[in-house]
A and B are shown apart, each in its own frame.
Chain A
Amino acid sequence: MTPLLRFKSISCRRGGRLLFSDLDLELGAGEALQVAGPNGAGKSSLIRIAAGLLQPESGSVESASLALADDNLALDPELPLRRALGFWGGSTEDGLHALGLATLRELAVRLLSSGQRKRATLARVVASGAPLWLLDEPLNGLDSNGAALLASLMAEHCEAGGAILAASHAELSGDWRRLELTA
């Protein structure tokens, strides 16, 4: 079976510092991989390389259709949440319901709390329908209910044949392979 994400001998250097080198990685359907490590170890860089937003120093990346949730909201602040999410297409209502945001659908994005904003970025990922989810510190800003909701969504996604690459310094609940980066 073709993996949804494949790294071949990826090396990454930022600001003259080698973060990781000759990294090989495969993520198939139903798999979830947590990238862990201290601050500055290169977790976010690895996610951005997987998303095609950052060029590695060497190596190649192949990936299926993907969706990314990071610290950037990427939603128009003046629009109601439903319309802001709708710009990105996909199943907006599914995303809103999945993250418990249905009652906030007509609220302007700028009025959302930081936790609700995090849910909104995750709703965009859910709505995308992409098989590969890239999540950079997905627990940041989520309360315990939000974290539990996310855990169940991630489990459902993997059961449905999706794959998840998540960078997090905190432990993610569920059945995760682990890749430890060192600073």
Chain B
Amino acid sequence: MIGRLIAREVRRGLSGPAWLPAAFFLLVATLIPFAIGPDPKLLARIAGAVLWVAALTAALLPIERLVEPDRADGILDQLAIRGVADESIAAAKIAGHWLTFGPLLLISAILGALLLDLAPDQLPQLLIALFVGSLALAALAVAVASLTAGLPRAGALAGLLLLPLAIPLLIFGASASGDTASGALLLEVAVALFILAGAPFVAGAAIKASRT
């Protein structure tokens, strides 16, 4: 059932506007030069940080469709009746969500790096950092979506919850994107592993609590 659930998440993600977060990501990356001016050196220096902020904001877009439609339609109930643990549901949703969100984000990051004139030797480091970060962002998104499912103004609330929780990722991820010598990437991996390990349990508890 877990495999079917992951496949379902991927299908739902791809049948909807899966490109929307990626497009939003690129839009944010494109806007920055308009705001600060076309200084190539400055743009190259801040490119990693800009792309990280863009990734964070892009991660907010799909949150409302991750859990609430399934809660409202009784799909989470039917899965529970079939003995699927809420934590397993959450883990499957994280995997499915990343598969539709992560790869497109990484492809967009290459385009964003070109737009911002990022030094070519920094691109692999940026992509590795964003790969790790996107996994954690997918886990955070599902956890936050579960916590806010069924609440009024859930979208705004989800943003207020997700962005502060993602600050450690932003700090270490952005640092790792620009400096290969520092230990920032290892710290980012540590934060990501912590989030990936905890998110299914947080989301599972929230799904359980949302049943009335």
Residues of chain A having any CB pair with chain B under 8 Å? 48, 51-54, 66-68, 70-76, 78, 87-89, 124
| A74 with B78: CB separation less than 8 A | yes
Known: A53-B211, A67-B81; 13 extra A-B contacts, CB below 8 A, are A52-B80, A52-B81, A54-B211, A54-B212, A66-B81, A68-B81, A72-B72, A72-B73, A72-B77, A74-B75, A74-B77, A74-B78, A78-B15
- When distances are taken between beta carbons in the complex, the residues of chain A under 8 Å from B74 are 70-74
A40 to chain B, nearest CB (A): 14
With the chains together, A51 CA to B81 CA distance in Å?
Answer: 7
Contact-residue size bin, chain B (C-beta under 8 Å from the other chain): 10 to 19
- When distances are taken between beta carbons in the complex, the residues of chain A under 8 Å from B77 are 51, 53, 68, 70, 72, 74
Partner of A87, one of B4, B80, B81: B4
- When distances are taken between beta carbons in the complex, the residues of chain B under 8 Å from A68 are 77-78, 81
Give 18 A-B contacts (CB < 8 Å), ordered by A residue: A48-B211, A51-B81, A52-B80, A53-B81, A53-B211, A54-B211, A54-B212, A71-B74, A72-B72, A72-B73, A72-B75, A72-B77, A72-B78, A76-B8, A78-B15, A87-B4, A88-B78, A88-B82
Residues of chain B having any CB pair with chain A under 8 Å? 1, 4, 8, 12, 15, 72-75, 77-78, 80-82, 211-212
A interface secondary structure, majority? loop
- When distances are taken between beta carbons in the complex, the residues of chain B under 8 Å from A70 are 74, 77
- When distances are taken between beta carbons in the complex, the residues of chain B under 8 Å from A74 are 73-75, 77-78
- When distances are taken between beta carbons in the complex, the residues of chain B under 8 Å from A124 are 78
- Please, which residue of chain A has its CB at the minimum distance from the CB of B76? A74
User: A68-B78, A78-B15, A87-B8 given as contacts; is B211 within 8 A of A73 (CB)?
Assistant: no
